[in-house]
Amino acid sequence: MDRIFIYDTTLRDGSQSEGVSFSLQDKLAITLKLDDLGVDYIEGGYPIANPKDESYFKEVKSLTLRHAKVAAFGSTRRADKRVEDDKNVHALLDAETPVVTIVGKSWDFQVANVLKVSLDENLRMVADTITYLKSKHREVFFDAEHFFDGYKKNPEYAIKVLQVAHTSGADALVLCDTNGGSLPAEVSAIVKDVSAKVNGMVGIHVHNDGDLAVANTLIAIEQGVRQVQGTINGLGERCGNADLCSIIPNLVLKKGYHCLKEGGLKKLTEVSRFVYETANLLLRSNQPFVGTSAFAHKGGLHINAIRKDRGTYEHIPPESVGNERRILISELSGSSTILAKVEKFNLTHDTELLRSILDDVQNLENEGYQFESAEASFELLVRKKAGRYKPFFDLQGFRVIVEKRESSLPVTEATVKIKVNGIQELCASEGEGPVNALDTALRKALDRFYPTLKGMKLVDYKVRVINPRKGTAAKVRVIIESQDETNIWSTVGVSENLIDASWHALVDSIEYKLLKEQESAGSEKAADKNKYTDNLIA
């Protein structure tokens, strides 16, 4: 099985995404996740660029990494400095990483107009820097910046830069499509020529400005590339970098390459979502392989086929990348959809109940509900219809007050009265708005009964006016996305009153969380009982 080395640059290139700013602790946490995934190299940052990156290289040494090597990133020596006197080069050595990645110019246009040095001086800068770092016993990778653009304009010089880097001791020569504008056929032809003219391991580093970064990476591998650079979820400047969440499963599952440590691929979805959460970004639901919609099925004919053979509408098993199959419920649903959705409840024999569930779904969606985006609410509906549901609390009433005082922002206060197992609880809380105040008051009321709710948070809140022609009396649909340490789920509420619609979605969200915890505790208890029985038999 051929080996492809995965070089992750989420912590450097990924942090250059608009709106992304990883803290030091974020970077350390992502490092551990990437190591657990099984990537070969983790580019930690530019040690001379800012104090955070400098601190990262100090702190990362305290982590126990089982697989990955950390790389420090920097540039070739400056034109007016000896390599021994260059602060950037010294910062790379001070980082004390086993790997150093050096970026250098390979496009004559950039050499003349950005560096403003001669082509020969640029070659000396590349050679001096790599030779010096190799003398300090570092593994050195050379990123040939703007390589593809440079090759198109002056192939002889672009190749010469690679040859100089190789003879100076570079362990990998990384071809960069820095502007992200190359086409797959161009990348294929250029990498093929490089492989014929330059010795040593060749890598690829592609940006996504033409929406071709994954395709360009895969076709480069067909021409001999053996190191792949990219980021989790394709994070990166402008349109991003090549997305490792698509590249890795394509290489492993479609081409048979070895990329990650054993079992790593099944952690891909988990790592993808961890990076989104850490970066404070919303998940891209239609992201291939790891998105929540990647294996979602809505059409009745599709679902009927999926129930017979998963391969009819899935190119890989979702479990292979740690994802899951989802059957979406909507007014388009037929009996096959309901059957597929309720299989885990063992209700497939009860045709009358299935018909009743389908009727309810269609009637509720006609009123404005949308269950394909709120599967947690659908599961609660099924359990209620099947008589397999007991509420975790009963509402006795709530009140929301919004007070506006002169030029200040409105003040919102919510009061919630509930009953849990016959015990009444009354709590009030202020919030940023009526929904936030209501959510906070409800959690406060439930806290002493269900303390694990502290680990749950609301991550998205959407409001849609369903029948806008009724103006301010129109119905609204509220969809809430919630998350805890391991799961993400969505719930829905519909009403002419925004707060009432929000309340229904909030209650479903909390009850679903508690339901899953109850089931999990029951499974653990059963497992412990079985273990105890096994021990007695033994």
* pLDDT tens, per residue, the chain with 538 residues: 699 999 999 999 999 999 999 999 999 999 999 999 999 999 999 998 788 999 999 999 999 999 999 999 999 999 988 999 999 999 999 999 999 999 999 999 999 999 999 999 999 999 999 999 999 999 999 999 999 999 999 999 999 999 999 999 999 999 999 999 999 999 999 999 999 999 999 999 999 999 999 999 999 999 999 999 999 999 999 999 999 999 999 999 999 999 998 899 999 999 999 999 889 888 898 999 999 889 887 766 666 676 677 778 789 999 999 998 877 765 555 555 666 666 667 766 777 887 888 788 878 878 888 777 788 898 899 888 888 888 999 999 999 999 887 767 788 999 999 999 999 999 999 988 888 899 999 999 999 999 999 889 888 888 888 776 666 667 899 999 998 887 889 999 999 999 999 999 999 999 999 998 888 776 655 555 555 445 444 4
**What is the count of structural domains for the chain?**
5
Q: Does any domain span residue 49?
A: yes
d(CA 341, CA 299): 13
CATH for 57: 3.20.20.70
Q: Does any domain span residue 373?
A: no
Cβ-contact 506, 442 below 8 angstroms? yes
Looking at the structure, tell me whether residues 272 and 205 fall in a common domain: no
pLDDT confidence of residue 242: 98
pLDDT confidence of residue 369: 84
Looking at the structure, tell me whether residues 81 and 224 fall in a common domain: yes
> How many CA atoms lie within 13 Å of 2's alpha carbon, on the beta-carbon side?
14
pLDDT confidence of residue 80: 85
Q: Does any domain span residue 242?
A: no
The four Cα atoms 366, 372, 376, 380 give a dihedral, to 10 degrees, of: 40
pLDDT in tens, 393-427: 999 999 999 988 776 778 899 999 999 999 999 99
pLDDT in tens, 445-484: 999 999 999 889 888 888 888 776 666 667 899 999 998 8
d(CA 280, CA 275): 8
Please say which residue of 188, 213, 229 terminates a domain. 229
Q: Does any domain span residue 85?
A: yes
Cβ-contact 442, 431 below 8 angstroms? no
Looking at the structure, tell me whether residues 327 and 441 fall in a common domain: no
Looking at the structure, tell me whether residues 179 and 137 fall in a common domain: yes
SS3 351: helix
Looking at the structure, tell me whether residues 399 and 434 fall in a common domain: yes
d(CA 70, CA 372): 42
Q: 428-456 burial by CB neighbour count: b if 16+ within 10 A, else e?
A: bbebebbbbbbbbbbbbbbeeebeebeeb
Cβ-contact 2, 225 below 8 angstroms? no
User: What is the distance in angstroms between the CA of the first residue and the CA of the last residue of the chain?
Assistant: 42
Q: Does any domain span residue 224?
A: yes
Cβ-contact 439, 465 below 8 angstroms? no
Task: Kindly state the DSSP code that residue 3 receives in the 8-state scheme.
Answer: B
pLDDT confidence of residue 320: 96
Task: Kindly state the DSSP code that residue 253 receives in the 8-state scheme.
Answer: I
Q: Does any domain span residue 46?
A: yes
Q: Does any domain span residue 443?
A: yes
What's the chain's Rg over C-alpha atoms?
28
Torsion-angle region of 180 (φ positive above 0: left; ψ -120 to 50: alpha; else: beta): left
pLDDT in tens, 306-329: 667 777 878 999 999 999 887 776
Helix axes 155-167, 119-135, angle to 10 degrees: 20
Q: Following DSSP, what letter does each residue of 95-152 receive, concatenated?
A: TT-SEEEEEEE--HHHIIIII-S-HHHHHHHHHHHHHHHHHTT-EEEEEEETHHHHHH
CATH for 398: 3.30.160
The four Cα atoms 216, 239, 320, 215 give a dihedral, to 10 degrees, of: -10
Looking at the structure, tell me whether residues 146 and 81 fall in a common domain: yes
Please say which residue of 432, 449, 466 terminates a domain. 449
Task: Kindly state the DSSP code that residue 252 receives in the 8-state scheme.
Answer: I
Looking at the structure, tell me whether residues 182 and 107 fall in a common domain: yes
In the structure encoding, which two tokens stand for residue 528, read together? 């412990």
pTM of the model: 0.72
Q: Does any domain span residue 104?
A: yes
Looking at the structure, tell me whether residues 81 and 97 fall in a common domain: yes
Please say which residue of 367, 383, 412 terminates a domain. 367
In which domain, by residue range, is 361 found? 296-367
CATH for 527: 3.30.160.340
Looking at the structure, tell me whether residues 94 and 183 fall in a common domain: yes
Considering only CA atoms, which of 182, 186, 224 is closest in space to residue 206? Answer: 182
Looking at the structure, tell me whether residues 279 and 313 fall in a common domain: no
Cβ-contact 237, 13 below 8 angstroms? yes
Looking at the structure, tell me whether residues 112 and 217 fall in a common domain: yes
Looking at the structure, tell me whether residues 308 and 282 fall in a common domain: no
